[in-house]
Structure 1
Amino acid sequence: MTNLAKEFREFEYNAWQQSVDQYNNSFGSLTNQMIEPLLNAVNPQTGTKILDIATGPGYVAADAAKRECQAIGLDFSDAMLKKAKQLNPDLEFIQGEAEYLPFKNEEFDAVVMNFGILHLAEPQKAINEAFRVLRHPGKFAFTVWDVMDKCIGMKLVYEAIQAYGNLEVALPEGPPFFYFSEEQNCISALQNAGFSHSLVSKFSLTWELTNADELLDAFYQGTARTGGLLRNQTEENLANIRAAIRQTSQPYFDKNKLVLPMSALVASGTKL
């Protein structure tokens, strides 16, 4: 791992150590909407041994267990794992890194990752590792956000930061956040790892929040990169960003709720 990758990994680790409850309370209702499409992409059956990489609070592993799979969750954040075990005391969770999975070759029937690939220093290594630990003809699937214009919650926050924030905040450099929003990049990464029958599907989601302040707080406290940028703003900048989001979010209110259109992709491949 390069020094740049180590810095980014440490940055992400420290951020997620602090963001457990906020993520669970804000982004959980959004990212959980992709669990069913993600699991359907690997078609698990009763008894399927499935690995949930970057399990976070264990949402996907828990749903896989409900499908009578043998589910194991893995995350590099011990704070996230503590939350996962608290929510799912009967499931198995292991601490480890997606790019260096602590498992033998061909140990799983299916591998999944729900938005975790966006937070990795070396995403291609993680896809390669998923291929390594899969049995033939196992399937791997991961989810990512669509392009920003189709993810209104992100667009409102990012545009406010660009307009009123300091973009020169010193943060560790990571892979481009929206790299896998392009379908071809997903397919190429899967093929580079050795997967066949690569497929990308899009899904429309709805993120319901109480108000614009809840949207900003979700990013401020519940994300790594955007949260790091926000947490390093001056009080004046942050106040201006908050005011801008309150203004631009107005068209998305419905019956006193903030209803934001979002879009996500499921990319999958088979180890033949």
Structure 2
Amino acid sequence: MTDFDAYERDLWAGRAGVYARGFARLTVHTIAPLLDAARVGPGSRVLDLGTGPGFVAAEAVRRGAKVSAVDADPLMADTAARNAPDADVRVAILPALPYEDETFDAVVGNFVINHVGDPEATLAELRRVLRPGGRLALTCWTMPGSGVLAVVRDAMEEVGVAWPDDVPPSPFMTYGRPDAFAALVDGVFREARVEHLDWDFTFEPDEWWENGAMARVGSNAVVLLRQDPPTIARVKEVYDRRLTTYATGDGRVSVPAHALLAHGTR
């Protein structure tokens, strides 16, 4: 494992419940286009990477696919097994997968490639488990982060919270651009393409704060929770002020989200 991989294992340990209540509500928007790009349908043998709460796996099962799913965190895998009981859910840490060569018709990953320390090695492993002609589909956040992905980070920067040296950046700070993401996938898969996925995410600001920033979900939250209470309070004030721009009039806000979808053929 790289230092980033080790950091990620610690970051997500025990976060399954709060992730399902918070951030997973944002990422469900991309499930349909992800599965469409991989051509997941009845009878497809599908591997769902970094399954988290299992929402992608459950939708693939609903489409009639035969689904396997993996996650590095045992609690996440347990949660996925409950939410997608017809899927075969296992614990596995990328880039190593516990499957034979050419096992799957499709491999999908909803915001997981940006959580691995060696994306190139991971893509090579994904190619190994895909049959010839099989389809790959992966989402990642557009970088630099903007919209809903940036509301906490922007508030921290306005307050002057410094980013510590011991919190490693994801390789997708580089690869999270359309051209770089396409080049990465094109180095391993044929017919690689990258599409923009943009939508508006509606949420209650206090609920999002509690289930994200204050629940240690993501690196922004790791850094924020190292601050003293007065600093956290100032970040919350800026966060609330910035979100007034997106108010919907019912106590909620609707903030743009921006992601990329890459797909290709083995």
C-alpha separation in 2, matches of 1:132 and 1:90:
24
- Once the two structures are superposed, residues 122-152 of structure 1 have per-residue CA deviations (whole angstroms, 9 ceiling, x without a partner) of 1221111111110010010100112346x31
1:38 paired residue number: 34
SS, match of residue 139 in structure 2: strand
- Note the 1:85-104 alignment, pairs <5 A: 85-104=81-100
2:149 paired residue number: 154
C-alpha separation in 2, matches of 1:79 and 1:210:
26
C-alpha separation in 2, matches of 1:248 and 1:174:
25
- Once the two structures are superposed, residues 240-268 of structure 1 have per-residue CA deviations (whole angstroms, 9 ceiling, x without a partner) of 11010111110101022111111211101
Contact 2:61 2:86 in 1 (8 A): no
SS, match of residue 178 in structure 1: helix
Q: Shift in Å at residue 177 of structure 1?
A: 4.1
Give, as a single letter, the amino acid of the residue that structure 1 aligns with 2:208: L
1:108 paired residue number: 104
- Note the 1:44-193 alignment, pairs <5 A: 44-148=40-144, 151-193=146-188
TM-score (normalised: structure 2):
0.93
Give, as a single letter, the amino acid of the residue that structure 2 aligns with 1:261: P
C-alpha separation in 2, matches of 1:48 and 1:21:
29
SS, match of residue 223 in structure 1: coil
Contact 2:216 2:225 in 1 (8 A): no
Q: Shift in Å at residue 222 of structure 1?
A: 5.3
Q: How many residues align?
A: 264
**Pairing 1:241–2:246 present:** no
1:216 paired residue number: 209
Give, as a single letter, the amino acid of the residue that structure 2 aligns with 1:60: V
Contact 2:143 2:172 in 1 (8 A): no
SS, match of residue 254 in structure 1: coil
C-alpha separation in 2, matches of 1:165 and 1:171:
18
Give, as a single letter, the amino acid of the residue that structure 1 aligns with 2:159: Y
Q: Shift in Å at residue 198 of structure 1?
A: 0.6
Contact 1:198 1:267 in 2 (8 A): yes
Q: Shift in Å at residue 204 of structure 1?
A: 1.6
Deviates more, 1:55-64 or 1:170-179: 170-179
- Once the two structures are superposed, residues 99-130 of structure 1 have per-residue CA deviations (whole angstroms, 9 ceiling, x without a partner) of 11111111111000000111111122111111
Gap runs ≥5 in structure 2: none
C-alpha separation in 2, matches of 1:250 and 1:181:
28
Deviates more, 1:114-123 or 1:82-91: 82-91
Deviates more, 1:242-251 or 1:117-126: 117-126
Gap runs ≥5 in structure 1: none
- Once the two structures are superposed, residues 28-58 of structure 1 have per-residue CA deviations (whole angstroms, 9 ceiling, x without a partner) of 2210010000000011231110000101111
Contact 1:148 1:154 in 2 (8 A): no
SS, match of residue 97 in structure 2: coil
1:263 paired residue number: 258
C-alpha separation in 2, matches of 1:170 and 1:147:
20
- Once the two structures are superposed, residues 46-79 of structure 1 have per-residue CA deviations (whole angstroms, 9 ceiling, x without a partner) of 1110000101111111111111100111011001
SS, match of residue 56 in structure 1: coil
Contact 2:111 2:140 in 1 (8 A): yes
C-alpha separation in 2, matches of 1:214 and 1:259:
14
SS, match of residue 162 in structure 2: coil
Q: Shift in Å at residue 163 of structure 1?
A: 2.0
